[in-house]
Structure 1
């Protein structure tokens, strides 16, 4: 019966074992196989091959070009980083309820897709160059969704705000907690005016999501 190495639990034969070199090499190769950096074209190819992942597995995905590891519950980027979306086109609205689209703009909605980290917490940053047609507040916030479910709605308390006709750059940050680790989420910019008599203009908009560990 093969013994196991003390740290990696890799099998090796005893002197009394049958002299079957191919079998011993196969046992060692199979034990090492799941401990190397596995390489796959994408997550679908990985999941088709690795049907029973174990905590600590490390995989390289050609698309999107990153290392991921298995935490014991889900695959996560080895070094999760921020995701960012910018939109340089200008758009307007005069609605007093938050909207994810602007009149005259292209590329809306301005949104980023991200994977919730193991902590379930992220830092969301939004901002733009903002102005109004009157001395009334113009606000930019963000809607957070898990899949298609609205997790956290845009709110004035989580908004970048400019009041007045002069164009000003404004931004804000807010923390989102309680996301399901490994869930695919989106942060989508949302806008509103404090009064229908004020046309709010937004340009050079951005949304950034930074995972918190």
Structure 2
């Protein structure tokens, strides 16, 4: 009767076992198979092939070139790094409600997949100034598709007041996200008054997994 290695639980034959080399090799190969880094074209191929994943399994996905691991309840990205988007063109707005598009600049958006914790840390910032002695605001909208999960707000905004340009940033944690669900974070801007032009440059948004 085959014995198992003490750490990995891999089978190996005993002297009293039947001399069936192919069977013993097959048993070892099948035991090792799920402990290596598995390789698939994408998540759908992985899920179709690995119908009963075990916690700790590793799988490489050619699309989107990503390592994933099984937590015991779901597949998650292995050691994801921060995601960052910067915009260096100058954009303006006179809107007193948050807008994602500035005159003269395109929207600044980061797309991320929520981690098993369902939480991320978002940092936003810009170099900004106003045409008058009023404030400029840069915050962010968090969306799942077209649904806004967390709207831009003054309490989560980097604020610059006055006509001189200064760099400002802030960060805030977002929790309660659904693991393995894709979200977007898009910078949003506003001016304190419609009579004042808010100008933004060197804008950025960074998403860090927590």
Normalising by structure 2, we get a TM-score of 0.91
Structure 1 contact 147–183 (Cα < 8 Å) conserved: no
For residue 128 of structure 1, report the CA deviation from its aligned partner: 0.8
Aligned CA-pair RMSD: 1.8
- Separation (CA, whole Å) in 2 of partners of 1:3 and 1:145: 53
- Separation (CA, whole Å) in 1 of partners of 2:143 and 2:163: 32
Normalising by structure 1, we get a TM-score of 0.89
Aligned residues: 210
Give 2:36's aligned residue.
36
Instruction: Map 1:169-188 onto structure 2 (within 5 A).
Output: 169-188=167-186
Aligned-partner SS, 1:198: coil
Matched, 1:128 2:126: yes
For residue 178 of structure 1, report the CA deviation from its aligned partner: 1.5
Matched, 1:104 2:104: yes
Larger CA deviation: 54-63 vs 120-129: 54-63
Instruction: Map 1:24-173 onto structure 2 (within 5 A).
Output: 24-106=24-106, 108=107, 110-173=108-171
For residue 14 of structure 1, report the CA deviation from its aligned partner: 4.0
Give 1:191's aligned residue.
189
- Separation (CA, whole Å) in 2 of partners of 1:52 and 1:186: 31
For residue 35 of structure 1, report the CA deviation from its aligned partner: 0.2
Give 2:209's aligned residue.
211
For residue 40 of structure 1, report the CA deviation from its aligned partner: 3.0
- Separation (CA, whole Å) in 1 of partners of 2:186 and 2:176: 18
Structure 1 contact 11–31 (Cα < 8 Å) conserved: yes
- Separation (CA, whole Å) in 2 of partners of 1:58 and 1:17: 32
For residue 191 of structure 1, report the CA deviation from its aligned partner: 0.7
> Can you list the C-alpha shifts for 1:102-137, whole angstroms capped at 9, x where unaligned?
11213x2x1111122222221110011111111111
Alignment gaps of 5+ in structure 1: none
- Separation (CA, whole Å) in 1 of partners of 2:146 and 2:13: 54
Aligned-partner SS, 2:24: helix
- Separation (CA, whole Å) in 2 of partners of 1:73 and 1:191: 39
For residue 26 of structure 1, report the CA deviation from its aligned partner: 0.8
Larger CA deviation: 45-54 vs 184-193: 45-54
